[in-house]
Structure 1
Amino acid sequence: MKKTLSLIICLLISVSLFAQDNAAGEPEMADKLFADGRIYVVVAVVATIFAGIIVYLINLDSKISKLEKQIRK
């Protein structure tokens, strides 16, 4: 219960941070990157990192499964 409540509080705090306005009138970073054509590089890097994490987790899961099978024997 305590973990759930703290998770909800953290999510509500993060939502309020996203609601802040750009008061300076400057273009957002994503808009600038998109205008320069660099947004695709950013997306490719993030996708590569995400894919690496997924592959690592799948590999780790298979190793843990093998160890669990060895312990059960």
Structure 2
Amino acid sequence: MTDEEFDVIDELYFVQHFSYLKESLGWEEQLILQTLSSLQEKGYIKCLTAPDEEVFEKIDLLEQGRKLYFLATKKGLMEHNAL
């Protein structure tokens, strides 16, 4: 897990919108989207269209990530807490 991935997971113990991550982390949008995409590939986060509506199909986060919500998965939290 990269430092960036660790920092993003740190913010996703609860469902959070992309705009929250942008404000909280203070990073460039592209870095956030790339990090989210990497976390999604590893199965460390869930993507949601609304706070209680998980998306189960593959999403291109670089294109659609700005309008989504995110939540760390159990796998992501276990990896995060192991470090």
How does the TM-score come out when normalised to structure 1?
Answer: 0.23
Higher helix share: 1
Highest Rg: 1 or 2?
Answer: 1
Q: Which gives a bigger RCO, structure 1 or 2 (Cα 8 Å, sep 6+)?
A: 2
Higher strand share: 2
How does the TM-score come out when normalised to structure 2?
Answer: 0.20
